[in-house]
A = this chain, B = another copy of it.
Amino acid sequence: LYKATLGSDEPSAVLQDALHRLLRQVVRTGGLLEPHPAHQHAGIELSISEAFALGELSEADILSQQELAARLGLEKSTVSRLAAGMEARGWLSRRRAPGNRRFYELSLTKQGQQVARRFGEDLTSRHARLLALLTPQERRALEVGVTGLVRVIESHLDSPEHRAVHETDG
């Protein structure tokens, strides 16, 4: 999703990708996600979570609500309301799975795909502008460092002690 406007290797696709992953795990609001938590991005009024949900569904094609919740790092209850809202806006369809009607099959509509693409391009170009202000050395260093940090955080989120803290869910 987020690589739509990217050339071959300036800021570096690896770095941009690592930053985006860091954002999804670690960040909901703030400098890297301007303008504002629930404001316009690329001329579309949508919340951060709506934007990331579009990104996940755009990559995965079909997800259940729980799968989407896991990818976004949100509660299933949050995603329930989130998906209902996005369905109302015409961005995704919720069909009960044929084989097992407990599941929803979430997928983007044509309009949802368009919004996802526009948001992805906007985010990428915004980050490219920020990264252009770094020195080449800093950019290379950030790539190595943030890639490592994302790896470490992801393995931390999967660790037993971490799960123990959050075991109220599911």
Interface positions of A (Cβ within 8 A of B): 25-32, 34-36, 73, 130-131, 133-135, 137-149, 152-153, 155-157, 162, 165-166
A137, B32: Cα distance in complex, Å: 25
For A134, give its contact among B131, B138, B152 (CB under 8 Å): B152
Provide the residues of chain B in CB contact with A32, threshold 8 Å.
26, 153
For A141, give its contact among B29, B34, B144, B156 (CB under 8 Å): B144
Is B153 touching A31 in the complex (CB atoms < 8 A)? Answer: yes
For A145, give its contact among B34, B133, B141, B152 (CB under 8 Å): B141
Q: A29-B28, A138-B144, A145-B139 are in contact. Are A34 and B162 (CB under 8 A)?
A: yes
Is A135 touching B148 in the complex (CB atoms < 8 A)? Answer: yes
How many protomers of this protein does the assembly include? Answer: 2
For A165, give its contact among B35, B139, B157, B162 (CB under 8 Å): B35
A120, B97: Cα distance in complex, Å: 48
Provide the residues of chain B in CB contact with A26, threshold 8 Å.
26-27, 30-32
Provide the residues of chain B in CB contact with A138, threshold 8 Å.
144-145, 147-149
Q: A28-B29, A31-B153, A31-B157 are in contact. List 17 more A-B contacts (CB 8 A).
A: A25-B30, A26-B27, A27-B27, A27-B28, A31-B156, A34-B156, A35-B165, A133-B152, A133-B155, A138-B147, A140-B145, A141-B142, A142-B142, A142-B145, A142-B148, A142-B149, A143-B145
A143, B145: Cα distance in complex, Å: 7
For A142, give its contact among B29, B30, B144, B155 (CB under 8 Å): B144
Give A162's nearest chain B residue, CB to CB: B34
